[in-house]
Structure 1
Amino acid sequence: MSIERSERSERPTIVLCPGGPMLVRGEAVVQTQDGATHRTTRPVSAICRCGATSRAPWCDGTHKLLPKERRPD
């Protein structure tokens, strides 16, 4: 997965939440492993890091249901 800044804005700010999603603040384009691109539409977007979401690439909170050893660092 890669994150690129939008042509119209500043560089996005990225925060990795321990055991949870990657938070992207600002406009960005997220590219998934299969090459699909998704533009952020919220001031802060939560991107899945555990791979268990049903709304890829966006986090749906599924990481909270996973055992700690399966959650992202």
Structure 2
Amino acid sequence: MKTIIATIFIIFLSFTAQAQNTTEEVKVETIEMTIVTETTYELNVEAKTEVARLYKFKNSRIKRDLNFLTKANKPKMA
């Protein structure tokens, strides 16, 4: 009984979805644009001093941060 009602409901929904009028056409306004053929490049020559850090080992900061200890890591006496 439940399956029969469910199939009738699905068929009813499909008929109502097909009965809607969607013939309205929407006109879109197009814009004509030209292609740019000239390009200009500007260089900003400013003296900037940047500091770079050099670590002795690769990924040393990441390894240090991931190697933390918590209270749960300490051994307990039974």
TM-score w.r.t. the length of structure 2 is 0.15
TM-score w.r.t. the length of structure 1 is 0.16
Higher helix share: 2
Higher strand share: 1
Larger RCO (CA within 8 A; separation ≥ 6):
1
